Amino acid sequence: MAAVAYLDHAASTPMHAEVVEAMREFFDGCYANPTGAHRMAREARRAGDDARDILAEALGARPGEIVFCGSGTEADNLAVFGAAAGSGGTVVCSAIEHPAVLRPVEQLGGRVVGVDSAGMLDLDALAAALDGDVRLVSVMLANNENGVVWSLEEVAEVMARRAPGALLHTDAVQAFPWLDVAARAAPADLVSVSAHKFGGPKGVGALVVRDGVALQPQIVGGGQEAERRGGTPNVAGIVGMGRAAQITVARRAETVERVGRLRDRLADGLRAALEGVTESGVRPASGAGMPVDRSAKVAGSCHLCFEGIESEALLFLAERGGVYASAASSCASGAEHPSHVLAAMGYPRSLARGSLRLSLGAASSEADVETALAVLPPAVAQLRRAAA
């Protein structure tokens, strides 16, 4: 395959070479079921326990509070359905949650809270949605489309006043590559993450379940994960997730600084090259020298809307030029309807249909940015001419 500018890291990141190497033994050497009693099974179990220790430290949890799952989606589902099951209580989430949270909340007849035009949670609306019947509040730490980061401390303060008995869940899937989740998610009772968002393998996620939180398992029959999630553990995936978390934490500060500069170069370059570009999740700058304030976003997020085009056509031209991106979240990309995130932020349908999510990651380079800056402006111009 020819070299490409991969700008879809929010959908999935390349695995670190060290992660691939760490997993290799559990494909062709130590392949036993870790629930067994013989030596190979014990070795597999020990490797999983070591990874659990690493992930627990990275998330500010105890090893016994980690529940390994098959994905971030499963972790979110387990948090919402597991906490709500049998409680008779109400569940609440924001309007821009990932569908892995939003759909379960809707299915349970829960309440959905709005956001403002910059994608920030409406805390007054949250307070109005809370009462003594609320069992769970789920708000993401960083949004998967616009990259906006929320303060869980502020959410927890509102909950303490309005629904002191409720649990707080956060989807930290997009946050972990960029933020100190151990500190930022400390107020949360339940925390979801997914390995393939930070250099680990696909098919493995985790849910932090703080001590004392009652959670009804959604997959039963095996008794694994302290009776909270049945099924034979994916040892190779768990080992890979642990190694990826270790690498991410060790390199996070440098990655955030470097990638943040690349993101700014990309966003500023596209805004300068084209008219009719709206960048989501930002506010006007308070000082000179910067066109917008991106301090509320994670470093890898560049989400733009281009007036007068359709994103699917732009993605086609971008791919022809070697730029790989997406229109919205990976689960919605290619869908006929514009992003529910942009709709909740009040974007008109005519503008939202021209959205483009350019997401950078630890492997992103200056060459990726320069390729995108060379390919995207003429592609947008071509589409606008064709539509005129």
Which residues are designated catalytic?
A: 331
> Which of 329, 341, 263 has the alpha carbon at shortest distance from 11?
329
| Residue ranges in the chain assigned as alpha helix (H) | 17-28, 39-59, 72-84, 99-107, 123-129, 152-162, 181-184, 224-227, 235-273, 311-320, 340-344, 349-352, 366-387
Q: Pick the closest to residue 329 from 59, 58, 16, 72 (CA basis).
A: 72
List Cβ neighbours of 28 (8 Å cut-off, separation of 6 or more).
Answer: none
Please report which helix (H) or strand (E) contains residue 4, including its range.
none
For residue 113, what are the β-bridge partners?
94
Total residue count of the chain as it appears in this document = 388
Contact present, 303 and 356 (Cβ < 8 Å): yes
* Class of residue 385 by CB neighbours under 10 A (exposed 0-12, middle 13-18, buried 19+): exposed
d(CA 126, CA 272) in angstroms, rounded, equals 37
Nearest CA to 282 out of 171, 116, 40 is that of 116
Element (H, E) at 119: none
Position 258, amino acid: R
